[in-house]
């Protein structure tokens, strides 16, 4: 293989009407043997006489024509744009790699490497012979001999210190965000958001990169999998690396991590590969193995995290030609694997199940098909109306299909995934206002600890029909969507949207507490709820002992906690359900008239309106009929409330409601407060143990202050705090700013 320089454009391209390069590329597409990669189409064919003269090779010699796939979405990080420059830099150290003979934007002609891909003789997942493992480790070690001065110029963002492992990994995470996520966010952002991947996932990963050992940088291939390893016919050398377009310069541990993951070794061979790599590196660059045992996991975590973007995009794109059940099954399984692999490094705690992924993919693909065609097509989306919600005069049923199609194309900043619902804000043709399509979230880790007793649609209808001055969404449609290629019908509801109108800003919530005028507005709406007729929602509610029912529900919640949560609760001094029932039996409140309650007035269920227009109350799934005092006290428990705002809330609430709703409230509100503190002690502990809903902001804030919650709960129960000396319990609690557990106080010497 000679070291023929890449011909200049004037020498290779010739005139536009008689161009041997163009003629040869056209011939390659027609008669060449093609193999398709993720980024290129590769055609193998012999050189014609005209092309052979231009590249300085013998006619008939085999070459590879590489053509960049124009339809490919950007799914990889590139340090350098020209593979030819990389190949020219490494040919002195790795003389058997392909040589770029000629190139143009989007295509190149490379010398052909004689041999067969490793994948053709040893498929993914199969064990690799130990001699091959040693040879592969030798290849990776040999790359460290390429001098930085021979390589193309590095981007300006590169760490100045050639041994900064932490800086290199942070740069990689930032490049994934800039080169992969951002260019694809317009098309795929809504899909990622629906699957639970936030837009700042890689940014947060970069911020969490820990301090690592210093290792000298070297040339890295970064894509050394079985298709890119050629087993030579002659055996000298035995293995040759191809496809260098993703090469970079940095911490050699990154190359080992990508190789381990992308080669798909059986799990039992990972240690053998790692040991072989370390042994090979000891002979060429001993400092490269510093911190291997401690730091390799960080690069493996990064590789799995960044792969979530290309894996999901490829799965979604695979449905362009066929969206039948077989294709959906394969794509859904691929997405689930990608999410599970990336869950820990990206902090994804609420993964969708495969049937939910299937429906999300189908809706996204249906919307993309509509967008590609540019007109209404047969999307395969139908719906079955739920007659409990009649056709709304402001939203005809003919608009529902338009809303469901638009749902799949909703941009990421219009998709909000909470602990219970996936909400997609869409604009429907012919409808003057935006609407939100709501679907239940069915996550693997989600456990219902609080039951819903009233149907949200019935509550919203009752509020709208009553004429009460309560700012709440209107329910416009309810039904089951019927994607014909999916197995199950998917329940949905369509509500009016109450976020900022005509804006890309997300809804604004009073997460730091209410302003004075907002406190007045909330009290006014809680008072208006007493005007809503409740008999249609629950005819028996008026005769119910609300406080007795509330105590029973708390006991039920504790008795139904999983065993691991109950055991930890006992270790921390919280009583079991039966003992709790005895203690709560001492609590009593004054009987008061019942009214409709929201039941979960945390700040994220309150939406600020433009200017000083007050608040809109959303998410009515936990609505109940009971004591109005409870709704007010629960809000204060869930929301940071300054003493002056608390006093303002109580005083205005008492003045505006008749005595039948307020009598005895001064003595009773501390009782409700103690009930809510005790409930939080169990619920938040369970969330810490199971990991359920920890990505929700209200849950995150609650568990971060669990130590105070636990102390307040045991005091409310009249029990001594029982601190554990077992350090392993610390794993159940989030660390404080100093890195030590916030919730568990350790005994001396532990």
pLDDT of amino acid 176: 96
Element (H, E) at 697: helix 697-704
DSSP secondary structure code for residue 435 in this structure: E
pLDDT of amino acid 217: 97
pLDDT of amino acid 292: 96
- Cβ-Cβ contacts under 8 Å for 69 (sequence gap 6 or more): 39, 40, 41
pLDDT of amino acid 270: 97
CA–CA separation, 467 and 462 (whole Å): 9
- Give how far Cα 625 sits from Cα of 69, 377, 533, 535, Å: 61, 46, 11, 10
pLDDT in tens, 466-524: 999 999 999 999 999 875 545 567 899 999 998 876 655 678 899 999 999 999 999 99
CA–CA separation, 335 and 313 (whole Å): 9
Helix (H, G, I), strand (E, B) or coil at 318: coil
- Where do the structural domains in the chain lie, given as residue ranges? 9-306, 368-506, 508-750
pLDDT in tens, 165-207: 999 999 999 999 999 999 999 999 999 999 999 999 999 999 9
pLDDT of amino acid 141: 95
The answer to whether domain 9-306 and domain 508-750 are alike in fold is: yes
Tell me the two tokens of residue 420: 């219970």
- Give how far Cα 129 sits from Cα of 117, 260, 272, 416, Å: 15, 15, 11, 49
pLDDT of amino acid 290: 96
Bond prior to 237 in cis (omega within 30° of 0): yes
Q: Report residue 11: phi and psi, to 5°.
A: -75, -35
pLDDT of amino acid 368: 85
CA–CA separation, 302 and 307 (whole Å): 8
Torsion-angle region of 467 (φ positive above 0: left; ψ -120 to 50: alpha; else: beta): left
Class of domain 508-750: alpha beta
10 Å Cβ neighbour count for 167? 18
pLDDT of amino acid 370: 75
Low-confidence residues of the chain: pLDDT under 70: 1-18, 36-38, 70-72, 371-380, 442-452, 483-488, 501-505, 611-613, 691-703, 721-750
Class of domain 368-506: alpha beta
Q: Report residue 116: phi and psi, to 5°.
A: -125, 145
Tell me the two tokens of residue 490: 């998917």
CA–CA separation, 484 and 318 (whole Å): 18
Any bridge partners for residue 219, and if so which? Answer: 249
pLDDT in tens, 602-624: 999 999 987 666 899 999 999 99
CA–CA separation, 555 and 449 (whole Å): 11
Give helix 182-194 / helix 354-373 axis angle, nearest 10°. 130
Helix (H, G, I), strand (E, B) or coil at 728: helix
pLDDT of amino acid 688: 80
Pick the CATH number of 9-306 from 3.40.50.10540, 3.90.1200.10, 2.60.120.460, 3.30.300.180: 3.90.1200.10
Provide the sign of the torsion angle of the four alpha carbons 649, 650, 652, 653, taken in this order: positive
């Amino acid at each position: 293989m000679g070291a023929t320089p890449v011909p200049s454009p004037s020498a290779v391209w010739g005139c536009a009407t008689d161009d041997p390069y163009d003629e040869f590329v056209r011939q390659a597409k027609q008669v060449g043997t093609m193999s398709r990669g993720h980024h290129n189409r590769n055609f193998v064919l012999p050189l014609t006489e005209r092309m052979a003269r231009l590249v300085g090779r013998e006619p008939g010699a085999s070459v590879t024509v590489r053509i960049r796939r124009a339809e490919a979405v950007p799914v990889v990080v590139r340090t350098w744009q020209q593979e030819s420059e990389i190949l020219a830099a490494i040919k002195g150290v790795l003389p058997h790699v392909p040589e770029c003979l000629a190139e143009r934007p989007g295509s190149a002609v490379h010398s052909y490497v004689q041999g067969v891909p490793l994948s053709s003789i040893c498929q993914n997942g199969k064990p690799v012979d130990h001699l091959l493992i040693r040879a592969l480790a030798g290849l990776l070690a040999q790359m460290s001999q390429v001098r930085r001065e021979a390589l193309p110029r590095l981007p300006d963002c590169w760490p100045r210190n050639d041994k900064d492992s932490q800086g290199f990994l942070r740069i990689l995470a930032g490049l994934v965000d800039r080169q992969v996520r951002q260019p694809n966010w317009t098309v795929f952002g809504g899909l990622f958001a629906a699957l639970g991947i936030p837009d700042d996932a890689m940014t947060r990963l970069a911020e969490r990169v820990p301090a690592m050992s210093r290792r000298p940088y070297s040339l890295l291939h970064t894509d050394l999998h079985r298709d890119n390893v050629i087993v030579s016919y002659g055996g000298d050398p035995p293995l040759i690396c191809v496809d260098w377009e993703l090469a970079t310069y940095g911490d050699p541990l990154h190359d080992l991590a990508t190789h381990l993951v992308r080669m798909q070794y059986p799990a039992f061979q990972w240690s053998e590969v790692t040991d072989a790599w370390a042994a090979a590196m000891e002979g060429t660059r001993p400092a490269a193995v510093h911190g291997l045992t401690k730091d390799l996991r960080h690069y493996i975590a990064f590789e799995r995290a960044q792969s979530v973007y290309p894996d999901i995009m490829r799965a979604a794109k695979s449905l362009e030609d066929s969206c039948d059940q077989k294709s959906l099954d394969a794509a859904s399984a691929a997405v689930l694997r990608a999410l599970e692999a990336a869950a820990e490094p990206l902090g994804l705690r609420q993964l969708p199940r495969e049937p939910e992924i299937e429906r999300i993919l189908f809706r996204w693909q249906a919307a993309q098909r509509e967008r590609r065609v540019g007109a209404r097509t047969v999307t395969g989306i139908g719906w079955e109306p739920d007659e409990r919600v009649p056709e709304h005069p402001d939203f005809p049923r003919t608009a529902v299909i338009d809303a469901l199609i638009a749902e799949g194309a909703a941009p990421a900043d219009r998709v909000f995934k909470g602990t219970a619902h996936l909400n997609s804000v869409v604009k429907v043709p012919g409808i003057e206002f935006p609407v939100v399509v709501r679907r239940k979230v069915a996550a693997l880790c989600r456990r219902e600890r609080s039951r819903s007793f009233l149907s949200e649609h019935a509550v919203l209808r009752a509020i709208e029909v009553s004429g009460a001055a309560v700012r709440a969404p209107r329910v416009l449609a309810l039904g089951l969507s019927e994607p014909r290629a999916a197995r199950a019908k998917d329940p949905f509801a369509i509500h009016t949207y109450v976020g900022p109108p005509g804006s890309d800003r997300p809804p604004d919530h009073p997460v730091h507490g209410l302003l004075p005028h907002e406190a007045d507005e909330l009290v006014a709406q809680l008072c208006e709820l007493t005007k809503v007729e409740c008999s249609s929602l629950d005819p028996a509610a008026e005769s119910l002992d609300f406080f007795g029912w509330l105590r029973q529900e708390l006991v039920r919640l504790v008795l139904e906690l999983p065993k691991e949560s109950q055991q930890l609760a006992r270790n921390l001094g919280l009583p079991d359900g039966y003992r709790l029932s005895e203690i709560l039996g001492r609590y009593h409140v004054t009987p008061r008239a019942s009214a409709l309650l929201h039941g979960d007035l945390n700040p994220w269920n309150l939406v600020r309106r433009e200017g000083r227009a007050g608040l809109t109350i959303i998410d009515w799934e936990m609505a109940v009929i009971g004591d109005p005092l409870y709704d007010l006290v629960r809000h204060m428990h869930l929301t940071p409330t300054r003493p002056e705002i608390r006093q303002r809330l109580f005083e205005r609430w008492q003045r505006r409601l008749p005595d039948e709703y307020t009598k005895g409230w001064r003595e009773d509100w501390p009782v409700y407060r103690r009930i809510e503190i005790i409930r939080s002690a169990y619920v938040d502990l369970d969330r810490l143990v199971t990991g359920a809903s920890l990505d929700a902001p209200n849950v995150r804030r609650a568990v971060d202050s669990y130590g105070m919650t636990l102390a307040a709960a045991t005091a409310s129960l009249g029990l001594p705090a029982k601190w554990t000396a077992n350090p392993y319990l610390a794993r159940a609690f989030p660390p404080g700013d100093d890195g030590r557990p916030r919730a568990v106080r350790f005994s001396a010497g532990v």
